[in-house]
Copies of this chain bind each other. A is one copy, B any other.
Amino acid sequence: MRIVLLGSGNTATVLGRMILQAGHEVLQVYSRNEAHAKILGDELSCSHTNDIGSLISYGDLYLVAIADDALLAVQEWLTLGKKLVAHTAGAVSKEVLQQVSKNYGVIYPLQSLRKENRNSPSVPFLVDGNTPENTTLIIDFVTTFSNLAEIANDEQRRHLHLAAVIVNNFTNHLYLLAEKFCEDHQVDFDLLLPLIEETGTRLRNFPIRQLQTGPASRNDLRTIDEQLKMLVKYPSLRNLYQTFTESIKNEFPQLPL
């Protein structure tokens, strides 16, 4: 397919690379920021523009990979007639494209995409279309560059997006707070990397509930009390520690020490 790519951030860049690698043609990169448009256009060996009036008109698919706030106003600056258009956002309805074209849908990558990351992770996609035909067109396209493509409507995508915030954004924040705590106490955070990796990868082999260990799940009040004392100078971490301890205890109410 011939793709026109709108956007020049992490999602646009990583999707552009995947699309190109799968043998499709990227015709043009559009971005409000001309320098960014040029960088990505050059990388994908295609033209670029920051003038929406110069958008190439013969694309097979217009892929809108821009920030949510810009996407929510897309009908004010993008009109594509009958051209197939898809956005890439997890928390925005496909209907935001309703005024943009008669044919629209969503290609949402359920992964944290970073253009600097050259060892590309596996990327599942949630796809949707405003008609069964468009859904089929879109999923057939996505399947050429990902073996994990599933159809999901706005509601399902919104729920998976929230779950992604929980398992990615929140855990990453825990890593950041733990790293600072280790630095302050002159212990090597990197020693935790094998544990962090194991915590994620073993989910494929065990029920998550069985994997819960630690002072809260065994109601070890001595350790909980001692660890809360160690966190007096870390109000954010202490607050999270308490919230987690209560939540974990709720899940494991009957377990004694």
Contact = CB atoms under 8 A, between A and B. Distances in A.
Interface of A: 68-69, 91, 110-112, 114, 116-117, 119, 121-124, 126, 148, 150, 152, 155-156, 158-160, 162-179, 181-182, 185-189, 191-206, 208-209, 211-217, 220, 222-223, 226-227, 230-231, 236-237, 239-241, 243-244, 246-248, 250-251, 257
Contacts of A191: 110, 124, 126, 148, 150, 160
A166 B237 contact: yes
Contacts of A206: 114, 116-117
How many of these chains are in the complex?
A: 2
B212 A203 contact: no
Most buried by B among A110, A171, A197: A171
Contacts of A165: 214-215, 227
Given A187-B152, A188-B150, A112 B199 contact: yes
28 contacts: A69-B257, A91-B227, A110-B192, A110-B195, A111-B194, A111-B195, A111-B198, A112-B198, A117-B206, A121-B198, A121-B202, A124-B191, A159-B230, A160-B182, A163-B192, A166-B237, A168-B213, A169-B248, A170-B240, A171-B171, A171-B200, A172-B208, A172-B211, A172-B212, A173-B244, A173-B251, A176-B251, A197-B200
Given A200-B199, A239-B247, A230 B162 contact: yes
A121 B194 contact: yes
Contacts of A244: 169-170, 173, 240
A7 B169 CA distance: 38
Contacts of A248: 169, 173
Contacts of A243: 239-240, 243
Given A194-B148, A220-B68, A243-B240, A166 B159 contact: no
A124 B69 contact: no
Contacts of A195: 110-112, 121, 124, 164, 167-168
A187 B164 CA distance: 12
Most buried by B among A158, A203, A239: A203
Contacts of A194: 110-111, 121-124, 148
A212 B202 CA distance: 23
Contact of A216 (B122, B169, B237): B169
A121 B195 CA distance: 8
Most buried by B among A111, A156, A194: A194
